[in-house]
Amino acid sequence: MQYVADSGSAAIALAAATATTCLMVKSSSTISGQLVELGVFFDGVTASNTPVLIELVKSTNATNSTPGTGNTSVTPVQARGDGNTTGSGVAATFTAFAACTSEPTVLTVVKRFLVPPTSGLLYQAPLGREAAIIPSMGLGVRVTAPQTVDVRAYMEFIQGPS
């Protein structure tokens, strides 16, 4: 099955030069997943501004990682595949949160990207090289913008072996 977690209908306001986890997907203790697509988009209007650092991060979910506590709870939506499109099929496997006001700890950077604040990033993982969502851990997007800008993000991922 394939799921999408989105940072929400409202843009996330980034404070200048402050790292912010804008989206994190967490797996259950028995289910793994793989990131197949990542989208991170900014609403900046000044092309000469310094690029935004986008980091794909893994998290142990040690602290500040409970959906709805210091962040906004997000419900991943099943986008493809057979079976349940709502309820236990999604909730039993993955949860997510966005717009962290208190950063999750124990983050490990997997990949880094520099992107102009007037555009965004659409990353499709090469087949066989998808980033893993390890059971009981999280995979997220942390952004650091040198100037104030708003961000929206989504992660598309599949349930299955990593």
**CATH (domain of 77):** 2.60.120
Q: How many domains does the chain have?
A: 1
54 alpha-carbon distance from chain centroid: 11
152 against 104, higher pLDDT: 152
pLDDT tens digits, residue range 75-110?
A: 999 888 776 545 445 556 889 999 998 888 889 999
Backbone angles phi, psi at 88, to 5 degrees: -60, -30
Max Cα distance, the chain (Å) = 48
Distance CA 21, CA 52 (A): 13
Residues 117-144, mean pLDDT to the nearest whole number: 94
Share above pLDDT 70 across residues of the chain, in percent, rounded to a whole number:
92
pTM, two decimals, is 0.89
